[in-house]
């Protein structure tokens, strides 16, 4: 965190990080240590379809996060924060497999 000349506090963080829990290059622990070493105040681990555990590491706040992909008339990515990592939300109502007929009569 830095404080500017007007007294405003600015935090350094990353809100979209993938790890080996989905398609990232490093493990969650390695990612957290990397961002901590770079002076980040917070990081959200937002792996595909995997809610990561929140916490704190050596002064870096770890936000729980996840990225869901939705395939309806294209591919959309939805990133969520602050979810209960114990739930894992594997049964989010038909995300990624919604049947087209659901939308045929939509206004």
Residue 89: the pLDDT is: 52
For the question of whether the overall pTM of this predicted structure is more than 0.85, the answer is no
**What string of DSSP letters covers the chain?**
-EE-TTS-EE--EEEEE--TTTT-SS-HHHHHHHHHHTT-SEEEE--BT-PPPPEEETTEEEEEEEEEEEESSSEEEEEEES--TTTTTTTSTTTT---THHHHT--
Q: Which tens digit of pLDDT belongs to each residue from 17-55? A: 999 999 999 999 999 999 999 999 999 999 988 888 899
């Amino acid at each position: 965190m830095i404080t500017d000349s007007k007294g405003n506090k600015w935090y350094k963080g990353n809100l979209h990080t993938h790890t080996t829990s989905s398609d990232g290059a490093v493990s969650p622990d390695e990612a957290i240590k990397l961002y901590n070493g770079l002076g980040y105040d917070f990081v959200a681990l937002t792996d595909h379809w995997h809610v990561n555990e929140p916490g704190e590491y050596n002064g870096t706040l770890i936000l729980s996060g996840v990225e869901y992909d939705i395939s309806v008339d294209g591919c959309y990515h939805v990133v969520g924060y602050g979810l209960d990592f114990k739930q894992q939300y594997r049964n989010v109502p038909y995300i990624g497999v919604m049947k087209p007929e659901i939308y045929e009569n939509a206004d």
